[in-house]
Amino acid sequence: MDSEALKKYSALHPKPAGLTLQYGTAGFRTKAEQLDHVMFRMGLLAVLRSKAVASTIGIMVTASHNPEEDNGVKLVDPLGEMLHPSWEEYATQLANAEEQELQKIITEICQKAAVNQHKDASVFIGRDTRPSSEKLSQSVIDGISVLGGRYHDYGLVTTPQLHYMVCCQNTQGRYGKATLEGYYEKLSKAFTELIKQSPGSGENQRHLKIDCANGIGALKLSEMEPYFPKEVLIHLYNDGTKEKLNHLCGADFVKVHQKPPRGLDMKPNERCCSFDGDADRIVYYYKDTTGHFHLIDGDKIATLISIFLKELLAKVGQTLKMAVVQTAYANGSSTRYLEETLKVPVHCVKTGVKHLHHKAQEFDVGVYFEANGHGTVLFSKAAETKIRQLAKEEKDDEKREAAKVLENMIDLINQTVGDAVSDMLVIEAILALKGLTVQQWDTVYTDLPNRLLKVQVADRRVIDTTDAERRAVTPPGLQEKIDALVKKYKLSRAFVRPSGTEDVVRIYAEADTQENADALAHEVSLAVYHLAGGKGAPPQP
């Protein structure tokens, strides 16, 4: 390692005094002007990680659904998964190191993680459409270059596209070609094959309105449109030509505010969906004839996909184990429907995509979605091999056809990470094949009314949870109080958990009516305020 070059370049990307950041589920995220040194140093870290695992590593410059002024960065591991937890610690150390300690910390990471300095390093870089992203990705390149790493800059891509490229590269092309064309071709081919099988295929035009959050999704969908079958007509809104990224639009806005985005004109019963800023989340929605807004969130997406896959698995007659993975935020009605009506096992894990992904890997077919619309389906190696073999060799016509549909599903789903483009095509294919309208999908079950609140506290660490964040262990007396409050309402539950990023405690409550869900959430927020060191005035109903 050339310590003079490191010193020289590091001085060009100085760390603001007194700034400390934490690498979380979403990597680093903050105001764009505070990130230059972090980008340079994540370039360094990606080279070390690449040498440690002798594979290509990805770096994505994005702050997803955050406001346009923010930015962020996350690293992608060899199979397109999120950075290994032990390296999140190294990322935090490196980002917060003082200038003069950089060399020492790099050396320590190399020792702890057994990094072979003589190995080659290779890094793939992608970025979103924020005004700050291009300059910040240049800082990443500086970091990679100082440590002698090779890089390929994909420029503007969705986050899931970068995850996909990294996986393709490290599987020597078994997962696909590590190019945008490769991505478009693989997905559109599988989608076209599926749509062919649908009743009335060819003559029925399928319209879908898409709110692209004024982000990268619009650019990539425009590039992909020529690959789509003729009967699929997508209409893009909030395409980034006029308004600000994520401003009053996008999946996060629609989910949180339970209303349509600005800039999308909805007619009754039209199918609409929203991507988030970096296109790794999707939610659907529509207005009924009375003008009432209906949100179809990640829970209902997971349910639709589960219904479809369960039918196909039953047809191929294999004993493949399928399960759905949720977090405590999943609506109680979805859990009940999956377990009691569909008879599919449901597992609850801590909030955060990495926990869902990890759990889903335990099954032959693992479906996971967060309520916010981030999710995908994972197929085990064994399941995939079996399905592809049946699609080729099975003598029984019905079984073989079902296996072929499953095989196309495997190719259409981006198994590395939640992907709004891929998930959208999966949903559109299922609705077409089952002949379902958006309203029929919505009525599979009715969501229990719920309310999300947050309470500011002096220190979020006073709250510790267990049972996948569904029960509070500390402070003493809080869980007993919540249990007593929950008993007052029908079909109710509530839980509290500390935010991962700020000194607030998040509260979730659901009950038989909106009025009761609101009342329960408020009562729980008061209990948190009094027992967990609330700041400022007590919560008002």
- Binding site listing for Mg(2+): 64, 276, 278, 280
Distance, CA of 134 to CA of 68 (rounded, Å): 14
Q: Are strands 70-76 and 122-127 parallel, antiparallel or unpaired?
A: unpaired
Sheet holding 293-296, edge to edge: 232-237, 206-211, 272-275, 282-287, 293-296
Total H helices, total E strands in the chain: 18, 19
Residues 64, 188, 274, 333: which is the catalytic one? 64
Q: Of 320, 209, 325, 317, which is closest to residue 269 (Cα–Cα)? A: 209
What tokens does 215 get?
Answer: 């982000």
Q: Helix or strand or coil: residue 495? A: strand
- Cα(501)–Cα(514) distance, integer angstroms: 28
- DSSP states of 439-477 as a string? HHHHTTS-PPPEEEEEEEBS-GGG-EEETTTTEEEESTT
Annotated catalytic residue 3? no
Residues in binding site: 64, 276, 278, 280, 370-372, 497-501, 506
Distances (CA, A) of 320 to 109, 344, 379, 380, 516: 41, 12, 10, 10, 41
Q: Is 282 helix (H, G, I), strand (E, B) or coil?
A: strand
Q: Could you give the CA distance from residue 45 to residue 83 in angstroms, rounded to a whole number?
A: 11
Rounded to whole angstroms, the Cα distance separating 306 from 451 reads 26
What does the alpha-carbon distance between residue 253 and residue 484 come to, in Å, rounded to a whole number? 33
Beta bridge partners of 509: 451, 494
By the 10 Å C-beta count (0-12 exposed, 13-18 middle, 19+ buried), 380 is classed as middle
If you ran DSSP here, which 8-state letter would residue 29 be given? E
Q: How many residues does the chain have?
A: 541
Q: What is the DSSP letter of 397?
A: H
CA 334-481-529 angle, 5° bins: 95
- C-alpha 418/C-alpha 283 separation (Å) is 12
Instruction: Give 1's strand partners.
Output: none
Rounded-to-integer distance, Cα 435 and Cα 192, Å = 16
CA distance 140 to 142: 5
| Nearest-angstrom CA–CA distance, 524 and 541 | 11
Show the tokens assigned to 59. Answer: 């770096």
Which residues does 223 contact at the CB level (< 8 Å), separation at least 6?
180, 184
**Closest to 217 measured CA to CA, from 259, 263, 159:** 159
CA distances from 283 to 66, 98, 160, 210, 303 (A): 17, 42, 16, 10, 13
Q: Which residues are marked as active site?
A: 64
